[in-house]
A and B are shown apart, each in its own frame.
Chain A
Amino acid sequence: MKIAVCIKQVPQTTEVKIDPETHTLVREGVESQINPFDLYALEEAVRVKERLAEQGEEAAVTVITMGPPQAEAALREAISLGADNAVLLSDRAFAGSDTWATSYALARGLAKIAPDLVFCGMQAIDGDTGQVGPGIAVHIDYAQAAYVACIEEISKKKITVKRLIENGYERVSLQLPAVLTVVKEINEPRTPSLRGKMNAKKAEITVWKASDIDAPEDKIGLLGSPTQVIKIFSPPHREGGEKWTGESHELADKLANLLKEMEVV
């Protein structure tokens, strides 16, 4: 079985800075890391591989990311955590991709790998949309389940998962191939192993340009992005409200007066 994991390299801090002129994230000088949710996706992929091995079936885990050449570091780290192969989608033509174009490009890359199962994080801690996983599923025409908290059963053809929903769980069975996005509850990620680190050092990272994945220029990058960011800003901190204490009839009077003052009653 072929398993793929989409990982995104994101800034270390959760306090991302925004360039006031270009309205894009300032990435220079910020240490990067693998998007935390993607570590759970990767761990689950490696566990599925181990689980299949116990059932006597071989599996390989390929990590894929779309990003600048520096994203190679994230891919090597993923190998130290148990991935077997790594693919970097890197091309100037991908720059400025919105979530549609990002998921399109990833879907093209994945189509070339032809995995049976694709794992994504539930969202990226910088972009935060949670759209890329489901977007990939649509572009590549795979079944999908988002917010997966547990894989209950897996066979060559079918997978049964528990999805986290508003007030409980939903059990879903999907035909493979499928895309899953996972929540933190799904596992406890391991730390790198020694053999993983050695493999990561030696690994050859495959790099694909837009032309390698047959992604036409008008479907990727700025050209292929139907949305446009007009402005990104940090919202001002909300002031704490006022707190009144006292007897209930006093408080009721006080409130009534305030509402009158505000001319809402």
Chain B
Amino acid sequence: MDYFFTEEQQFMRDVARDIAEKKIRPVAAHYDETGEFPWPEVKAMAEADLFRVFIDEKYDGMAGGSPIMNMCIVTEELSKACGGISLAFAATGLGTMPILVSANEEQKQKYLPQIASGTIAAFALTEANAGSDASGIQTRAVEDGDYFIMNGTKQWITNGGEADIYTVFAVTDPDRGARGVSAFIVEKGTPGFTFGKKEDKMGIRASATRELVFQDCKIPKENMLGKRGTGFFTAMKTFDMSRPGVGSQALGIAQGALDLAIAYSRQRRQFGAPISSFQGLRFMLADMAMKVEAARALIYSVARWIDQASPKKATAYSAMSKCFASDVAMEVTTNAVQIFGGYGYMKEYPIEKYMRDAKITQIYEGTNQIQRDEIGRGLVAAAAQSGC
């Protein structure tokens, strides 16, 4: 189906597809096994200008006014080959969003061109005791002359240790609740900023998930993002923009698994015929394809809407795109393993990895329970407002 990409977006898709097929697919199993960070592949993405697609031309980017849609197109293509390696790209997008949302001109001038040329970024909100309830974060930033002194530990930060630029959320005013959180840009190498445990994960094993440790870390005041106390707003606005990206990661994983399942079903023979000739199996493929296409249509619609209309609050639709696509990814990858039968269960075949990789998309950037909660809350609030 034709989704009427602009010519630039067709180029983005083709450039990303080339990297996915030629550079990523051949090494996906290797990184899945070793859990190393895929630097050569990230460099290839950078050389191909992929980190420019969500950054404005003014800062050496190539967004052409549609950063979110572009990010989705690229993430989807990369994720078809490996949902873990693609995350180095997508999480840089996530780490950049707070800068797009709240940075002042000087901060944009300083950081966006670096990211455009391939310096990777990370987003640090979650802590051991603050997951779904992000308002419970305990990392503190205390004003001290020209600096803020940060203390605390962030947990499970994607691109942790590998990224050079971190957007970090910390409490500046503990008595003000959610309005007491501020966002900061913290550069790797800042004294007092170190990295803790690197996680050993079920899936997306090529992605680095690591602790960030702040011990009397001195952050220059000019690195505060937005006004003091607007950190929570920045985080929520970021999620509105980034969740279609998680959706597109899920979509790519699902499409990649479906493609492999179709190919396998034509080649595997039982009862004297290819298994693709059995109606029961074709019905499975049809359901998988319908859901994948529905996810794609939803993600593209939401992404384009955010780019073109800059809605004040995109939360419900953004949540739908993430939640729907990630549920589809889990179902489709599980059925793809089913179509491979016993072979699908073996690591020698590429398909079980898709099922392991899919799972995370239902968990991070807000679990799917939290997404449903946001969507439902919005429905009820809207009904109450219109007085029905």
Interface, chain A (partner B; CB < 8 A)? 190-195, 197-198, 201
Residues of B within 8 A of A194 (CB): 8, 11-12, 15, 48-50, 52-53, 62
User: Chain B nearest CB: distance from A160 CB in Å?
Assistant: 26
Are the CB atoms of A197 and B19 closer together than 8 Å? no
Q: What CA separation (Å) do A209 and B19 show in the bound complex?
A: 37
Are the CB atoms of B18 and A192 closer together than 8 Å? yes
Are the CB atoms of B14 and A192 closer together than 8 Å? yes
Number of A-B contacts (CB under 8 A): 36
Residues of B within 8 A of A193 (CB): 15, 47-49
B30 within 8 A of A: no
Residues of A within 8 A of B48 (CB): 190-194
Given the contacts A197-B11, A197-B15, A191 and B44 also touching, CB distance less than 8 Å: yes
Closest residue to B23 on the A side, CB-wise? Answer: A191
Closest residue to B51 on the A side, CB-wise? Answer: A194
Are the CB atoms of B19 and A195 closer together than 8 Å? no
How many chain B residues sit at the interface, stated as a range, is 10 to 19
Residues of B within 8 A of A198 (CB): 8, 11
**Among the listed B7, B15, B62, which residue makes an inter-chain contact with A191, where contact means beta carbons less than 8 Å apart?**
B15
Q: List 18 A-B contacts (CB under 8 A).
A: A190-B44, A190-B47, A191-B18, A191-B23, A191-B44, A191-B48, A192-B18, A193-B15, A193-B48, A193-B49, A194-B48, A194-B50, A194-B52, A194-B53, A197-B11, A198-B8, A198-B11, A201-B7
Q: What CA separation (Å) do A198 and B62 show in the bound complex?
A: 11
B22 within 8 A of A: yes
Are the CB atoms of A195 and B62 closer together than 8 Å? yes
Q: What CA separation (Å) do A217 and B46 show in the bound complex?
A: 48
Contact with A along B33-67 (1 / 0, CB 8 A): 00000000000100111101100000000100000
Residues of B within 8 A of A201 (CB): 7
Are the CB atoms of B22 and A191 closer together than 8 Å? yes
Main secondary structure of the interface of B (DSSP, over half): helix
Closest residue to B21 on the A side, CB-wise? Answer: A191
User: Chain B nearest CB: distance from A52 CB in Å?
Assistant: 17
Residues of A within 8 A of B23 (CB): 191
Residues 4-29 of B at the A interface (beta carbon under 8 Å): 7-8, 11-12, 14-15, 18-19, 22-23
User: Chain A nearest CB: distance from B137 CB in Å?
Assistant: 37
Residues of B within 8 A of A195 (CB): 49, 62
Q: What CA separation (Å) do A194 and B10 show in the bound complex?
A: 10
Contact with A along B110-140 (1 / 0, CB 8 A): 0000000000000000000000000000000
Are the CB atoms of B11 and A191 closer together than 8 Å? no
Residues 342-374 of B at the A interface (beta carbon under 8 Å): none
Q: What CA separation (Å) do A195 and B19 show in the bound complex?
A: 15
Are the CB atoms of B47 and A192 closer together than 8 Å? no
Across chains A and B, which 9 residue pairs bring their CB atoms closest together, nearest first?
A194-B49, A191-B18, A197-B11, A193-B48, A193-B49, A195-B49, A194-B15, A191-B19, A191-B22
Q: What CA separation (Å) do A42 and B371 show in the bound complex?
A: 49
Are the CB atoms of B15 and A192 closer together than 8 Å? yes
Interface hub of A190, A193, A201 (most chain B Cβ within 10 A): A193
Residues of A within 8 A of B50 (CB): 194
Closest residue to A189 on the B side, CB-wise? Answer: B22
User: Chain B nearest CB: distance from A241 CB in Å?
Assistant: 32
Contact with A along B62-82 (1 / 0, CB 8 A): 100000000000000000000
Residues of A within 8 A of B62 (CB): 194-195
Contact with A along B164-203 (1 / 0, CB 8 A): 0000000000000000000000000000000000000000
Q: What CA separation (Å) do A190 and B46 show in the bound complex?
A: 11
Q: What CA separation (Å) do A2 and B249 show in the bound complex?
A: 43
Q: What CA separation (Å) do A191 and B53 show in the bound complex?
A: 17
Q: What CA separation (Å) do A201 and B15 show in the bound complex?
A: 14
User: Chain B nearest CB: distance from A205 CB in Å?
Assistant: 19
Q: What CA separation (Å) do A190 and B8 show in the bound complex?
A: 20
